[in-house]
Structure 1
Amino acid sequence: MMDYISALIMGLVEGLAEFLPISSTGHLILTGELLGATGEAVKTFEIFIQLGAILAATVLYWKRILGLFGIRVGNAPQYKINLLHVLLGIIPALTAGFLLHGFIKEVLFSPETVLIGLVVGGVLMIVAEKYAEKREIKAHTIDDITYLQALQIGLFQMLAVWPGFSRSGSTMSGGLFFGVHRKAAADFSFFIAIPMMVGATGYDLLKSWEHLSTGDIGYFAVGFITAFVVALFAMVGFLKLLERVKLTWFAIYRFVLAALFWLFVL
């Protein structure tokens, strides 16, 4: 069941959470539970509005996107990140999502599994931060990331098919394990999220088309636009925040949210 207020609220939550390592999908599922917005159409709505937030990344990275195809704009530098980096970063998760699509939608899109994902993902982030303190940082910026590091981050992104784990949290943790600075890992995560989510959303819409109706268009549009606008501001703020804040603080937030939701809602 969906209404315009619920669509607006969920779009706001998605825009704020997409680029934080707290799982936007997990937050949408928990928010939908609180609002009473459930069902197959709502599951597709939750996937679709993520694309709105992800497309906000095209505003920040549009010069890099053109650079992938050999197009330089104005005085833009010669970026080192290329299409092979992107492919290595997205193929593992796209493959996992394709093979496990039915299982993910039927089993993992529940409040209980989201809470588990929040906790386990939070533990992973804390371990990654502790490990990174003893490891030399080899990639300080996105352009320092090697092909091997791109693949390693891509493998960690596979964990994000579990709602509650968080794509940015998984990729940033993977980056920390393999000598990538958290901001560089976040930049790479946001960049490869664009083709990743376009592919995942398109595939999900094709698989879920029979659950939608023309009456859903308005709700989808409200959620999509809200997520896009809010994400534009949230993304820039988060990248600045990463200069000063470790992932551990986001992990603590995840633990608190999971505990409160378990105690007072479930």
Structure 2
Amino acid sequence: MSDIFNAIIMGVVEGLTEFLPVSSTGHMILTAHLLNFLGERAKTFEIIVQLGAVIAVFVLYFRRFFRFFNFTPGYMQRPGVNIIHVGLAMAPAVIIGLALHDFIKEYLFGPWSVLIGLVAGGILMIVAERVRIPITADSMDDITYKQAFLIGVFQCLALWPGFSRSGSTISGGLLVGTSQKAVAEFTFIVSVPIMFAASGLDLYKSRAFLTFDDLGLFLVGLVISFVVGMIAVVTFINAIKRLKLSWFAYYRFVLAFFFYLILSNSF
């Protein structure tokens, strides 16, 4: 029963935080420590529930993904975000992530690293919101190839747990001239292939811990993360114009301070 309880809690946390600029990885690491749900089995579970949130975005934007592969003459000049934009946004994080994958997993996936990432990412978000860059891409389909690549460069910051993929990319988008809604939607689109790839690599390396005995645990986490993730994405997109990025930054600071107090008394 304790395993199912952990699966429910972790699934809800992943679904709620994966696409908000608050760092789902950070929340998962900190929640796992609170629940004492640790070890290689728990790390494998975290990969599975992350896939649930990614599948939620794919389902919500499946028409857009199918359109990416409609290769017709003039594809690269056709208006709107296409697979070239996605590739440019993915490239920096994929290259650096593959090069540093083992180092990041071994040395940065801990609660103290997460606290640093939460604070540093929050500062970036406040700076991005307060630096008034003229908006040249009001909707996702206005994003240029150059902006897509630069957003991808900012996405590299999310390789540090706690920084947040959406927090880094939304901040980057604001700093290169996109609207908050445009870069938020673009972030969701880019997250699907890059997270499928990252999760696939992690699952392959953790294949020894994928056992039939844990099937129920993994399925509960996957389904809950999928359902909560769909609700979170739709809610966030509908509210993005009214939400200030700094609100999420202040939440990150409070969360970091709260867990600093807990971790200081625990280690």
Name the TM-score class by shorter chain. over 0.9
TM-score, normalised to structure 1's length? Answer: 0.93
Q: Is contact 1:64–1:79 with CA below 8 Å preserved after alignment?
A: no
Are 2:29 and 1:43 equivalent residues in the alignment?
A: no
User: What does residue 182 of structure 1 align with?
Assistant: 180
- Larger CA deviation: 37-46 vs 211-220: 211-220
Q: Note the residue ranges of structure 1 that are not aligned, 5 or more in a row.
A: 72-77
User: What does residue 148 of structure 1 align with?
Assistant: 146
User: What does residue 119 of structure 2 align with?
Assistant: 119
Identity %: 54
SS in 2 for 1:138: coil
User: What does residue 74 of structure 2 align with?
Assistant: none
User: What does residue 157 of structure 1 align with?
Assistant: 155
Are 2:53 and 1:90 equivalent residues in the alignment?
A: no
4+ residue segments displaced more than 6 Å: none
- Larger CA deviation: 61-70 vs 165-174: 61-70
Are 2:258 and 1:232 equivalent residues in the alignment?
A: no
Are 2:200 and 1:202 equivalent residues in the alignment?
A: yes
What amino acid sits opposite 2:197 in the alignment? Answer: G
Q: Distance in 2 between matches of 1:113 and 1:239?
A: 29
Q: Note the residue ranges of structure 2 that are not aligned, 5 or more in a row.
A: 72-77
Q: Distance in 1 between matches of 2:29 and 2:89?
A: 26
What amino acid sits opposite 2:214 in the alignment? Answer: D
SS in 1 for 2:241: coil
Q: Distance in 1 between matches of 2:79 and 2:237?
A: 19
What amino acid sits opposite 2:218 in the alignment? Answer: F
What amino acid sits opposite 2:241 in the alignment? Answer: E
Per-residue Cα deviation, 1:142-170 (whole angstroms, up to 9, x for no partner): 10000000000011111111110000000
Q: Is contact 1:16–1:231 with CA below 8 Å preserved after alignment?
A: yes
Q: CA RMSD in A?
A: 1.6
Aligned residues: 258
Per-residue Cα deviation, 1:72-125 (whole angstroms, up to 9, x for no partner): xxxxxx861111101011121122221111112111111111011000000010
Q: Is contact 1:14–1:28 with CA below 8 Å preserved after alignment?
A: yes
SS in 1 for 2:61: helix
What amino acid sits opposite 1:14 in the alignment? Answer: E
SS in 2 for 1:136: coil
TM-score, normalised to structure 2's length? Answer: 0.93
Q: Distance in 1 between matches of 2:163 and 2:101?
A: 16
User: CA offset at residue 70 of structure 1?
Assistant: 1.4
User: CA offset at residue 196 of structure 1?
Assistant: 0.8
Q: Is contact 1:67–1:79 with CA below 8 Å preserved after alignment?
A: no
What amino acid sits opposite 1:84 in the alignment? Answer: I
User: What does residue 74 of structure 1 align with?
Assistant: none
What amino acid sits opposite 2:226 in the alignment? Answer: F
Matching of residues 122-141 of structure 1 within 5 Å: 122-131=122-131, 133=132, 135-141=133-139
What amino acid sits opposite 1:41 in the alignment? Answer: R
SS in 2 for 1:19: coil
Q: Distance in 2 between matches of 1:161 and 1:139?
A: 26
SS in 1 for 2:206: helix
User: What does residue 103 of structure 1 align with?
Assistant: 103
